[in-house]
Amino acid sequence: MKKEYKIFVIADTHFGHKNIIKYCDRPFKDVEEMDKALIDNWNSCVNDGDIVYVLGDFSFYSKSKTKEILDKLKGCKVLIKGNHDRGRTNTWWKNVGFIDVYSKPLELWVGETTYILTHEPIEYKDVKELCGHVLHGHLHNNKSTDLMLQAEYHTCVSVECTEYKPVEIGRFYI
């Protein structure tokens, strides 16, 4: 009997980043409350075996604290590095618990849909040529249309836009 697994995306968790609460008007009193809510929300929808693509800006913590958080999160985690992740090597990120790490956008086929997974949004002309839909972070609670991005091709999955939890984009069976 085949088992069902899900594919999720999330961006801009900013674990350990105290100032993001103020910058993005996050509804948390402090970083400890934010971190706990993000972990609880993640684990309320993700199961072991599911795949979660993290579209950048995961953690501001040390290696040991970042590993501690990743160990608490369900699923197989893949990182597409964001602007705040690029100071650390792919090996560093794998050593804390990501099963794979990408420094550039990743193309992912889910059923009949092609997704381009990236931290920063890709310009419309490039997306149209790729015939895909861009799932991105980086904008936080700013709207894609504020930056003249074509909404039909771009979806921001920063936590401020996803109720602070991963968003399911597909299912697969093994």
Name the range with the highest mean pLDDT among 1-5, 25-29, 142-146. Answer: 25-29
What pTM did the predictor assign?
Answer: 0.92
**CA dihedral sign of residues 34, 23, 90, 104:** positive
Q: Partners of 6 in the beta sheet?
A: 171
User: What is the tens place of the pLDDT at every residue in 146-171?
Assistant: 555 566 678 889 999 999 999 999 98
SS (H, E, C) the chain: CCCEEEEEEEECCCECCHHHHHHCCCCCCCHHHHHHHHHHHHHHHCCCCCEEEECCCCECCCHHHHHHHHHHCCCEEEEECCCCCCCCCHHHHHHHCCCEEECCCEEEEECCEEEEECCCCCCHHHHHHHCCEEEECCCCCCCHHHHCCCCCCEEECEHHHCCCCCEEEEEEEC
Quick one: which of 129, 44, 132, 56 has its CA closest to 88?
Answer: 56
Domains of the chain listed by start with CATH number: 4-173 (3.60.21.10)
Is residue 12 within 8 Å of 137, Cβ to Cβ? yes
| pLDDT confidence band for 131 (50 / 70 / 90) | low
Percent of the chain with pLDDT over 70: 88
User: What is the tens place of the pLDDT at every residue in 63-77?
Assistant: 999 999 999 999 999
Tokens read off for 115? 């997704």
- In degrees and rounded to multiples of 5, residue 34 shows phi and psi of -60, -50
Is residue 119 within 8 Å of 55, Cβ to Cβ? yes
